Amino acid sequence: MSIDAPSQQGTGSEATPPSAARPTAVTSTSSITSIISTVERLRGTFDRGVTKPTAWRIRQLKALRALLIDNTSDIEQALLTDLKKNPAEAQLTEIGFVIAEIDHTLKHLRQWLRPKRVSTPLLIAPSSAHVVKEPLGVVLVIAPWNYPVQLLLVPIIGALAAGNAVAAKPSELAPATSAVFARLFARYFDSNAVALIEGGVDETTQLLAERFDHIFYTGNGRVGRIVMQAAVANLTPVTLELGGKSPVYVDDTVDLRVVAHRIAWGKFMNAGQTCVAPDYLLTTPAIAAKLGALLVDTIAEFYGSDPASSDSYGRIVNDRQFERLVGLLEGETVVTGGDSDARTRYIAPTVLSGVSRDAPIMSEEIFGPILPIVTVDSLSDAIDFINAGDKPLALYVFSESKATRRRFTTQTSSGALAFGVPAAHLLVQTLPFGGVGQSGMGSYHGERSLAVFSHEKAVLSKILKPDTFNLVYPPFTQKKDAFIRGFLRKLT
């Protein structure tokens, strides 16, 4: 099965030609033969039980933490090269984010791994039962380009914490970041258990042809379907973290100036190339006019009168994405922004007004710094419009009305629902992060990352004497029949 767009994020994302293979660390490989041998090496390591001891897991997590601390400047520079990502933003959304996830996992790992005692029915007394988490085996993590540190390493944290061997595939569309990790992985990790495979279409296709015990893919729905098809051959379970059009609803009960700041922050960080960024805004015509003006002021406050010269504002990842986004602006009414420079792949923070519900920009995930404002007649109109589309990865609501919040909670479905702030739910390690329906399947972060890469094994222990199963052994008498019927009714 061929994959023609590996490790992408966003509905409009397509693969560019794979970058030429570069000689890197021993764990970085591009040839088909090397990929096969790499997976075999990982399998052998897992089968020998190397990855299972808790001490080994902790060492690998601490090694990853050291990798990030020791090489912060190199990683920040790589992110600046790939996405013009400001170092402060890189700390908030990438490096510091991952370190916090490691620290949270290390703090709770032994507790999470303890066998969980469960009750047993009287029929099999005396007995004991518990649930044990065991690693799945060799897992594959395929990461996208938009957050090439966070979205590669956070799943790896869960995989290592669970005791698995890991094959990691960074995106070739963030080549500087990929190269840094290719150089560092073999230095910090147990290279027999953790392998990084660089490359593009051919390498991803070959990886998907190998047998893994779990595949964790972050990207778009089209490639997610290809990943699922490939997984069928070996009945491999998958986690799909996909995208979608995440709406934001605003009513007249809130401070619009604060709302403008929150929306602009969530929308325009990483130049809008964020899977949980507000994709479009729903509000009434009166609020749209006020909020549009406030967004103009906020963008100037964040990025100055010329965002192109701001070191706090990023760039579009490649020419194909740039051309797609510029095309979405055609025929739309621009409130602010709209400027672009193909040479630097710059698109200004842009707000559109009076956007039609059936406009081309409303038919796909934008995944860029363009915010359409779509007007609605009422709260019900907004909810109906959201429910008419695919279930979003995130839904944001700005309202102080308890009734409004209750309606969004009970009448809509989304991967996450946040009141008063976009994107910040990712910072809450005790919340699951994941999609629903077309926006993905499965969730992770915190303890759920451990669960994703673990099998919960049922363990039952019953002594041989007294043999209480005499009550249910054949031959079946009327007395045994009455006992079985009566007892089973009481099991619940």
Residues 313, 298: Cα–Cα separation, whole Å: 14
Please tell me which residue in 203, 241, 332, 447 is annotated as part of the active site.
Answer: 241
Work out the end-to-end distance of the chain between its first and last CA atoms, rounded to an integer number of angstroms.
47
Q: What angle do CA 485, 489, 492 make, to 5 degrees?
A: 150
Please tell me which residue in 94, 101, 275, 332 is annotated as part of the active site.
Answer: 275
**Residue 241 annotated in active site:** yes
Among the residues of 114-171, which ranges form H helices?
Answer: 150-161
**Residue 400 annotated in active site:** no
Asked if residues 206 and 32 have their Cβ atoms less than 8 Å apart, the reply is: yes
Residues 269, 424: Cα–Cα separation, whole Å: 12
Asked if residues 460 and 129 have their Cβ atoms less than 8 Å apart, the reply is: yes
The total of other beta-carbon atoms located within 10 Å of residue 491's CB is 8
Asked if residues 381 and 25 have their Cβ atoms less than 8 Å apart, the reply is: no
Element at 166 (helix H, strand E): strand 165-169
Token representation of residue 79 = 């992110």
The rounded Cα 334 to chain-centroid distance in angstroms is 31
Q: If you ran DSSP here, which 8-state letter would residue 214 be given? A: E
Peptide bond before residue 175 is cis, with ω within 30 degrees of 0 = no
Question: Which are the contacts of 176, defined by CB distance < 8 A and separation ≥ 6?
Answer: 77, 78, 79, 81, 82
Phi and psi at residue 474, to the nearest 5°: -65, 160
Asked if residues 67 and 188 have their Cβ atoms less than 8 Å apart, the reply is: yes
SS3 assignment, position 319: helix
Nearest to 124 by CA among 432, 458, 454, 471: 471
Residues 90, 288: Cα–Cα separation, whole Å: 32
Residues 223, 205: Cα–Cα separation, whole Å: 11
SS3 assignment, position 403: helix
Token representation of residue 294 = 């406030």
Catalytic residues: 241, 275
